[in-house]
Amino acid sequence: MAVLPIYVYDQAVLKRRAKPVQKVDETLVRFVEDMFETMRKANGIGLAANQVGLLQRVIVIDVSGMEGLEDAKPLTLLNPRIVEEEGDVAMEEGCLSLPDLRDEVKRPEKVTVEFVDLDLRKQVIEADGILARALQHEIDHLNGVLFIDRLGSVRRKLLRGRLNKILKGEVETNYPIVVSAQTPELHMR
């Protein structure tokens, strides 16, 4: 397994809508393993394929490091889509593509998500709490949406200085990053 570089703020690959997965092969399975390795190295709980340069509708989530969720199984979701939402709750979010930046985001409290697993079986998951939050956050990534896009314009202006530091790569991370002046994104593998 390999730790993949994570694309950070203002990279074109983060603003594009990912394409549906058409087939599962060894290359995709290895890529998913690398996504899990990358997410864990970065101390994240979720990662979308476009965050590591691949415009495919793939996300990985592992909330088992969270208190009270130690028994949660890691999830790989292909072509996920939210089919039902309920309630509203505001919670602080962070993002591996926006290092050192956190803010409060309002999202549905509960979601139902349909997806396909690595065996191409259709699945449905109902989630609330941090798992619902992670699912929504990562599905947003697949749609070219960052959590800061959900903030009001005044709040985004207040974050401009920190966003500029990320843009220039003036952040410290324990994982490799790709900033705007570096490698172009990988659209498909």
Q: Let me know if 138 is a catalytic residue.
A: yes
**Per-residue pLDDT tens over the stretch 94-149:** 999 999 999 999 999 999 999 999 999 999 999 999 999 999 999 999 999 999 99
**Per-residue pLDDT tens over the stretch 138-182:** 999 999 999 999 999 999 899 999 999 998 889 999 999 999 755
Structural domains in the chain, sorted by start:
6-176 (3.90.45.10)
* Helix, strand, coil tally for the chain in percent (to 5): 30, 30, 40
**Per-residue pLDDT tens over the stretch 17-48:** 999 999 999 999 999 999 999 999 999 999 99
Distance CA 107, CA 176 (A): 29
Residues in the chain: 189
Q: Is the pLDDT of residue 185 over 60?
A: no
- CB count in 10 Å sphere of residue 41: 18
* Catalytic-labelled residue, pool 93, 138, 170, 185: 138
pTM of the model: 0.92
What pLDDT shows up at residue 184?
Answer: 47
Distance CA 45, CA 95 (A): 10
| Sequential DSSP letters for 142-180 | HTT--GGGGS-HHHHHHHHHHHHHHHTT----SS-EE-T
Region class of 62: left (phi > 0), else alpha (psi between -120 and 50), else beta: beta
**Per-residue pLDDT tens over the stretch 62-105:** 999 888 888 999 999 999 999 999 999 999 999 999 999 999 99
Distance CA 69, CA 88 (A): 21
